[in-house]
Amino acid sequence: MTIIQPAKNKNKMSFLVLLIVIFLMAGFYIYEYNHVVGLDYQVSSLEKSIAEYQRINSEKKSQYYQLTDPARLEELAKENGLILDQQPQYLGVNL
């Protein structure tokens, strides 16, 4: 006579399924953690490059303001023989 023990096989199968689910969750957690760490590194790298670009931008603005300084422009005008017209006549269109 054969004795069937379905509860014995069911217990092993549920343990195996639970073990597989735990390994899948652990793998997903490791993947997501690595992804978050990579994003954190990218953010810090971008913050450094933004700071560098802001520094370069402020240097360029400083150079621009030095080049367009009114005293310097007047000096350049005198060097090139330009004079300030007191009563300028503008081109107009008569209709």
pLDDT tens-digit readout, 7-28: 566 678 888 999 999 999 999 9
Whether residue 51 lies inside any domain: the answer is: yes
- CA proximity to 75, closest of 64, 66, 88, 87: 66
Is the model more confident about 90 or about 42?
42
Number of domains in the chain: 1
Whether residue 54 lies inside any domain: the answer is: yes
Query: CA–CA distance from 22 to each of 8, 14, 25, 53, 60 (Å)?
Result: 22, 12, 5, 46, 57
- Residue 76's pLDDT is 92
Whether residue 16 lies inside any domain: the answer is: no
pTM of the complete model? 0.58
- CA proximity to 83, closest of 72, 94, 95, 74: 74
Whether residue 47 lies inside any domain: the answer is: yes
